[in-house]
Amino acid sequence: MLKQSSHFGTWRFVRCFLSLASGMALLLLIACDDSDSPPTTPAEGTHFAYVSNGLGNSVSILDLRSFHVVKELRVGKSPTGAAACPQSKYVFVANTDSNSVSVIDSSKQEVVRTIPVHSKPFYVVFTPDGKRAFVPNSASNDISVIDVSKLAVEKTIRVGAGPTQALMSPHEPTLYVACYGGAQISAIDTTDLRLMATIPVVAHPTSLAILPDESKLFVSSADTGQVAVIDALKKERIATLLTGKAPVFLRLKPDGGELFVSDFSNDTISIINTAANDISLTFPVGKQPNQTAVTSDNSRLFVGNYGSNSVLVFNVDERTVLNSIPVGAGPDAMVLTPGDRYLLVVNSRSNDVSVIDTATSQVFTVLPVGPSPRAIAIQ
């Protein structure tokens, strides 16, 4: 079972604006997990986590059986997005400043291929069957499509300006791409490899979420403080909701009933009722909330607070705060291990990963990684 940060992430819980050659600023987001004395077995067969280190040009590999750092692999320049391929042994890492994707073979823990793509890739997302990977190239306004069996680019698809985040539809062969510079979503047919629709949305689309039944797509804008609601069948906007300032990250409950919006500059979480298309609650959290995670039973929300170096635990049903857990500096990317046993939290400013035991809501160990960690993927 695989999990991606996200993310970048989007993936990314914190707003890290990177200047491109075009002068456009883009944002990135990320995710992670913890406990009290190191466990001896991984969560439900999960073995390794891969953390991209943006300023180290490397990927740190973490053993989730013994919770120690296995090794650090050299990759391209400024690695950002990381994703584990379903149905295979590969982990793909987007190298933003070297315009490439590093392919890690998790059975060997080695880089086995470097795939050239176009300009400023930030993110990687796979089809559910793991046969293709899609890489948004933010400065060349296109998507590189990688044939996983050949580890080579099979096609490049033009999209709107500044593609950053991308989201695969759970069942339909559709990829949604947030075009930060174009105030639009590009919808791609992942079977025929063609642009099937361009959907006008809010300015500077930032984060994406889609309902399990694929009826609605939600798109946040960190710059305007809005979330657009899209009819995914008709490919048109049906509502626009005002949230707190700088909604940088969206996290959907597994049952699809509610959407959690991280209001980075408001120090709050807004909860959207996805059936009614309205905000049912806004509650305060720590400083600068960014990435979040929700347990598979829909009961608990974990909020990474970038500005207060903590993770808040929220009881979703009772609408109460259960705990606030101190972590490293600048918590960013985070991911729950399969079975929700641990939460891995990437601390972007202290260059480490806090491992939280979700049963006790305590950090039991901290693992050092490379400088400026950005994304995390579990294989």
Q: What is the mean pLDDT of residues 362-371?
A: 97
Residue 196: count other Cβ atoms within 10 Å of its Cβ. Answer: 14
- Taking alpha carbons only, the member of 110, 120, 113, 125 closest to residue 142 is 120
Beta bridge partners of 100: 95, 116
Amino acid at 324: S
CATH 2.60.40.10 fits 3-378, yes or no: no
Confidence of residue 45 (pLDDT cuts 50, 70, 90): low
Q: How many CA atoms lie within 13 A of 300 on its CB side?
A: 18
Q: What are the tens digits of pLDDT across the range 253-265?
A: 999 999 999 999 9
Average pLDDT for 116-123:
97
Residue 19 clears pLDDT 50, i.e. is over it: no
What's the mean pLDDT in 88-102?
A: 97
Structure confidence by residue, pLDDT tens digits, 137-187 = 999 999 999 999 999 999 999 999 999 999 999 999 999 999 999 899 999
Average pLDDT over residues 66-74: 96
Would the pLDDT of 227 be above 70? yes
Q: What is the DSSP string of 337-355?
A: PTTS-EEEEEETTTTEEEE
Residue pLDDT, tens place only, 263-314: 999 999 999 999 999 999 999 999 999 999 999 999 999 999 999 999 999 9
pLDDT bracket for residue 46 (50, 70, 90): low
Q: How far is Cα 217 from Cα 277, in angstroms, rounded to an integer?
A: 11
Residue 338 — pLDDT band, cuts 50, 70, 90? confident
Residue-by-residue DSSP string for 253-310? -TTSSEEEEEETTTTEEEEEETTTTEEEEEEE-SSSEEEEEE-TTS-EEEEEETTTTE
Instruction: Write the CB contacts of 290 (distance below 8 Å, at least 6 apart in sequence).
Output: 12, 13, 14, 15, 29, 248, 249, 262, 264, 304, 305, 306, 331, 332
With CA atoms as reference, report the closest residue to 373 among 82, 129, 160, 171: 82
Q: Is residue 24's pLDDT more than 80?
A: no
Q: What is the DSSP letter of 12?
A: -
Q: How many Å apart are CA 330 and CA 270, to the nearest integer? A: 21
Number of H helices and E strands in the chain, helices first, is 0, 35
| 276 contacts: CB under 8 Å, gap ≥ 6 | none
Distance CA 306, CA 288 (A): 5
**Residue type present at position 128:** P
CB-based burial of residue 302 (10 Å sphere; 0-12 exposed, 13-18 middle, 19+ buried)? buried
- C-alpha 184/C-alpha 172 separation (Å) is 20
Contact 345, 331 (CB under 8 A): yes
Pairing mode, if any, of strands 18-19 and 25-26? antiparallel
Query: What is the percentage of the chain residues whose pLDDT exceeds 70?
Result: 88
Q: How do the residues of the chain divide into helix, strand and coil, expressed in percent and rounded to 5?
A: 0, 55, 45
Note whether 195 and 186 are within 8 A (CB): yes
Token pair for 372? 């400026």
Q: Is the model more confident about 13 or about 187?
A: 187
Enter the DSSP assignment of 121.
Answer: B
DSSP state of 357: E
The b/e string for 49-75 (b: 16+ C-beta within 10 A; e otherwise) is: bbbbbbebbbbbbbbbeebebeebbeb
Around Cβ 360, how many Cβ atoms within 10 Å? 13
pLDDT at 47: 85
Mean pLDDT of the chain: 90
pLDDT average, residue stretch 230-248: 97
3-class secondary structure, 79: strand
pTM flag (> 0.75): yes
Tell me the mean pLDDT in the region 7-27. 36
* Residue 27, pLDDT score: 40
